[in-house]
């Protein structure tokens, strides 16, 4: 058996189309989140794994020593490794790598133009994402896709503020760039 | 938990991750340009992705609760643990939203973007780990202060 025997699969739109219709991709994500819940009895989530990463890299801070980040929960890290491989699979199956400098008009105009400036920009953004998700107890996966779907009040509030702040930040940046010409 | 069940558990989450990363990519959630156009209300594709994902999840969760479907792992009815209303929920959510709005990246899409070949996300991932660590550090300082002020009160008594 060779790979060409699976051409009906590898040539199918599932693998060859880079962007699926919103309802197909969204429906599949919703079904996956539920399948994980049903099979493992663990809710979908991404940001808590970064606490495990801190503990595994040797941090002795009490926040990362509790049961939420114990070695018994290191499947959270394996989930992130899987996501990396899933992104790799997505690129390999379309036959093209994602363009690493395709940030769109907003971010291209907004970011510093020097390499050092951009690295600092991304570090700063990452720190905000890391601090915010840990303080709020979840991110767009844990709070929005998982929490809102089960009607959890804290997750609905968190998601509303995620979106309000993100929309506000992007719109404000857009208007400032238009006013001052970037 | 013994070794083989740990292996099965970690392996199944690795597989869930592969599917989730692949779907995030096919959904367009790993494209910062598409995130920006969502936040500027120019293209609502990702809004429909999120709405469908939440809608399908909500229907399945509702059925599972009503019909008391059992989890394969525990053999017990599936649990639906709500995340708590922590004190820092709203400030945290606002910080997260600003970071997300400035970069077009979130903790779930970041590894998938790296896998797709968007190398710059490696820097953001380092930032996310640093930000997470910073919350742990602030938490540690707060605990120390509380212990100190308690000791002071006890000494003054």
**pLDDT one-digit tens code per residue, B10-50:** 999 999 999 999 999 999 999 999 999 999 999 999 999 99
Residue of A nearest to B120 (CA): A100
Question: Chain B contacts of A154, Cβ < 8 Å?
Answer: 82-86, 89
Residue of A nearest to B61 (CA): A150
User: For residues B104 and B35, is the Cβ–Cβ distance under 8 A?
Assistant: yes
Cα(A80)–Cα(B111) distance, integer angstroms:
6
Candidates B27, B41, B132, B138, partner chain A, best to mutate (most A CBs within 10 A): B132
From the list A86, A98, A136, which residue is nearest B92 (CB)? A136
Tell me the pTM: 0.93
From the list B1, B50, B108, which residue is nearest A139 (CB)? B108
Residue of A nearest to B43 (CA): A22
- What b/e readout covers B49-69, taking b as 16+ CB neighbours within 10 angstroms? bbebbbbbbbebbeebeeeeb
Mean pLDDT computed over B135-144:
96
From the list A91, A106, A121, which residue is nearest B115 (CB)? A91
Lowest mean pLDDT among A55-69, A72-86, B143-157: B143-157
Distance from the Cα of B25 to chain A's closest Cα (Å) equals: 6
Pull the structure tokens for residue A36: 């994980």
User: For residues B108 and A83, is the Cβ–Cβ distance under 8 A?
Assistant: yes
Cα(B45)–Cα(A25) distance, integer angstroms:
10
Is the pLDDT at B103 greater than 80? The verdict is yes
Of B25, B37, B46, whose CA–CA distance to A18 is shortest? B25
Give the residue numbers spanning the domain of B65: 3-119
Residue B153: the pLDDT is: 84
Number of domains in chain B: 1
Residue B97: the pLDDT is: 98
Mean pLDDT computed over A143-158:
97
Q: Is A80 helix (H, G, I), strand (E, B) or coil?
A: helix
Given an 8 Å threshold on Cβ–Cβ distance, is A153 in contact with B101? Answer: no
Is the pLDDT at B65 greater than 80? The verdict is yes
Q: How many residues does chain A have?
A: 182
Written in H, E and C, the secondary structure of chain B is CCHHHHHHHHHHHHHHHHHHHHHHHHHCCCCHHHHHHHHCCCCCHHHHHHHHHHHHHHHHHHHHHHCCCECCCCCCECCCCCCCCCCCHHHHHHHHHHHHHHHCCCCCHHHHHHHHCCCCHHHHHHHHHHHHHHHHHHHHHHHHHHHHHHHHHHHHC
Mean pLDDT computed over A16-33:
92
Q: How many residues does chain B have?
A: 157
Distance from the Cα of A66 to chain B's closest Cα (Å) equals: 11
Given an 8 Å threshold on Cβ–Cβ distance, is A53 in contact with B95? Answer: no
Mean pLDDT computed over B109-116:
97
Mean pLDDT computed over B98-118:
97
Q: Is residue B26 part of a domain?
A: yes
């Amino acid at each position: 058996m060779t790979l060409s025997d699976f051409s009906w699969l590898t040539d199918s739109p599932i693998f060859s189309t880079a962007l699926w219709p919103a309802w197909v991709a969204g429906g599949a994500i919703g079904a996956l989140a539920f399948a994980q819940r049903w099979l493992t009895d663990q809710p979908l989530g991404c940001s808590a794994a970064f606490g495990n990463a801190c503990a595994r890299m040797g941090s002795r801070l009490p926040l990362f020593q509790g049961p939420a980040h114990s070695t018994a929960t290191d499947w959270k890290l394996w989930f992130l490794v899987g996501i990396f491989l899933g992104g790799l699979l997505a690129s390999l199956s379309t036959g093209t790598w994602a363009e690493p400098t395709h940030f769109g008009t907003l971010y291209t105009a907004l970011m510093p133009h020097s390499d050092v400036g951009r690295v600092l920009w991304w570090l700063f953004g990452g720190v905000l994402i890391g601090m915010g998700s840990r303080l709020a107890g979840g991110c767009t996966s844990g709070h929005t896709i998982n929490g809102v779907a089960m009607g959890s009040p804290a997750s609905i509030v968190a998601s509303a503020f995620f979106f309000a702040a993100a929309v506000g930040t992007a719109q404000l940046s857009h208007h400032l760039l238009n006013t001052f010409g970037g | 938990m013994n070794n083989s069940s740990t292996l099965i558990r970690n392996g199944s989450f690795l597989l869930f991750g592969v599917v989730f990363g692949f779907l995030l990519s096919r959904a367009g959630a790993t494209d910062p340009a598409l995130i920006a156009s969502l936040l500027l209300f120019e293209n609502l594709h990702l809004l429909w992705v999120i709405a469908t994902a939440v809608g399908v999840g909500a229907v399945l969760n509702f059925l599972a609760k009503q019909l008391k479907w059992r989890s394969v792992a525990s053999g017990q009815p599936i649990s639906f643990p709500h995340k708590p209303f922590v004190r820092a929920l709203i400030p945290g959510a606002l910080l997260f939203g600003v970071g997300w709005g400035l970069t077009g990246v979130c903790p779930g899409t970041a590894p998938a973007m790296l896998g797709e070949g968007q190398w710059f996300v490696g820097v953001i991932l380092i930032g996310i780990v640093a930000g997470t660590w910073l919350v742990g550090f602030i938490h540690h300082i707060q605990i120390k202060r509380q212990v100190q002020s308690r000791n002071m009160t006890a000494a003054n008594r």
